[in-house]
């Protein structure tokens, strides 16, 4: 009987995994400085070069942020530069002013088959559903329906959303300790139905972008499923590939 050969992992990747474990355990919070390369090298009994390579890769993954002369910090959604990492809709005129998030509704429900599959929870598990409108320069551009696992976001309410001055992801990070690490999106063109047309102030039948996203936190755990409709009359979807 043949046996699979063990998978080799470079040493710097092993150090990266250990740093990720520390982040997941909350040893260093978003926005907080992590120990120096020298301190981490001593902690893990490896060279500084190995630690540096691990940190370089984590910075490229937007998990850590290097600040010249200050050190390396855990990336945070409270950093204004993080806003357009997940929000890829950019005004044609190039104005990257933060959009206005307007919560429309927030209610509790039980996960159906699709929500349970997307969030990797049991059917019937508690979920929270949020409907919100994003406005750019006072014009409605995005209507979102967002599904969240109820156990992770206990206490989230319409009042919480209305009282928060910032992005949803900064709220999730600050109030619930949930940091969004990566997302997977599926995009297609659709025609605006009556509800979307009213919300986005467009004609029924207007072409829209349908963006379905599943967002993951540490440990590749899905913590958000959202379905959004984007008006692209004055915006385009920007994606950088490298």
Same domain, 101 and 65: no
pLDDT at 6 over 80: no
Q: Is residue 1 part of a domain?
A: no
Q: Are 202 and 114 in the same domain?
A: yes
Q: Residue 80 in 3-state DSSP? A: helix
H helical segments located in the chain = 11-24, 37-44, 48-60, 83-86, 113-119, 158-162, 168-176, 194-200
Contact (Cβ atoms closer than 8 angstroms) between residue 77 and residue 179: yes
pLDDT tens by residue, 88-97 = 888 888 777 8
179 in any annotated domain: yes
Tell me, yes or no, whether 70 lies in a domain.
Answer: yes
User: Residue 5 domain-assigned?
Assistant: no
Q: How confident is the model at residue 3 (pLDDT cuts 50, 70, 90)?
A: very low
Prediction pTM value:
0.87
Query: Same domain for 94 and 65?
Result: no
Question: Pick from 74, 97, 127: which residue ends a domain?
Answer: 74
111 vs 85, residue with greater confidence: 111
The whole-angstrom separation of Cα 125 and Cα 110 is 5
Whether residue 4 is contained in a domain is answered as: no
Confidence of residue 175 (pLDDT cuts 50, 70, 90): very high
Does residue 80 surpass a pLDDT of 90? no
Domain of residue 69, CATH code: 1.10.10.10
> Which stretch of 3-17, 38-52, 74-88 has the lowest confidence by average pLDDT?
3-17
**Two tokens at 100?**
């206005």
> Among 26, 86, 28, which Cα is nearest to 55's?
28
Mean pLDDT of all residues in 51-73: 93
Residue whose structure tokens are 């520390």? 22
pLDDT at 1 over 60: no
Residues 141 and 167: beta-carbon distance below 8 Å: no
CATH number at residue 142: 3.40.1410.10
216 falls within a domain: yes
Range of lowest pLDDT (93-107, 117-131, 176-190): 93-107
| Token digits of residue 136 | 């750019």
242 band by pLDDT with thresholds 50, 70 and 90: low
213 is a domain residue: yes
pLDDT in tens, 129-153: 999 999 998 999 999 999 999 999 9
Residues 210 and 163 placed together within one structural domain of the fold: yes
Q: Do both 70 and 85 map to the same domain?
A: no
Please provide the average confidence, as pLDDT, over all residues in the chain. Answer: 91
DSSP state of 33: B
Planar angle of CA 171, 175, 179, nearest 5 degrees: 65
Number of domains composing the chain: 2
What is the band of 240 on the pLDDT scale with cuts at 50, 70, 90? confident
**pLDDT (tens digit, 9 = 90+) per residue, 15-44?**
999 999 999 998 999 999 999 999 999 999
- Three-class SS state of 12: helix
By residue range, what is the domain housing residue 200?
A: 80-237
Other beta carbons within 10 angstroms of residue 21's beta carbon come to 12
Could you tell me the pLDDT band of residue 8, with boundaries at 50, 70 and 90? low
C-alpha 67/C-alpha 50 separation (Å) is 19
What span, in angstroms and rounded, lies between the C-alpha atoms of 58 and 61? 5
Is there a single domain that holds both residue 172 and residue 217? Answer: yes
Do 66 and 85 fall within a single domain? no
Whether 92 and 62 map to the same domain: the answer is no
């Amino acid at each position: 009987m043949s046996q699979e050969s063990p998978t080799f992992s470079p040493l710097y990747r092993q150090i990266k995994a250990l740093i990720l474990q520390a982040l997941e355990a909350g040893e260093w919070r978003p926005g907080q400085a992590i120990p120096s390369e020298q301190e981490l090298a001593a902690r893990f009994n490896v060279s500084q070069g190995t630690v540096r390579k691990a940190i370089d890769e984590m910075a490229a993954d937007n998990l850590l942020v290097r600040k010249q002369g200050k050190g390396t910090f855990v990336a945070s959604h409270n950093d204004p530069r993080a806003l357009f990492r997940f929000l890829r809709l950019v005004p044609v005129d190039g104005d990257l002013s933060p959009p206005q998030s307007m919560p429309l509704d927030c209610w509790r429900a039980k996960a159906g088959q699709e929500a349970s599959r997307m969030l990797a929870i049991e059917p019937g598990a508690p979920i929270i559903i949020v409907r919100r409108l994003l406005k750019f320069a006072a014009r409605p551009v995005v209507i979102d329906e967002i599904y969240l696992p109820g156990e992770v976001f206990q206490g989230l309410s319409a009042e919480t959303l209305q009282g928060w001055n910032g992005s949803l992801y900064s709220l999730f990070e600050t109030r619930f300790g949930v940091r969004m690490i990566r997302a997977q999106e599926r995009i297609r063109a659709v025609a605006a139905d009556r509800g979307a047309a009213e919300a986005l102030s467009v004609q029924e039948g207007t072409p829209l972008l349908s963006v379905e996203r599943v967002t993951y936190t540490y440990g590749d755990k899905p913590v958000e499923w959202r379905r959004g409709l984007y008006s692209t009359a004055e915006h385009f979807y920007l994606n950088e590939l490298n």
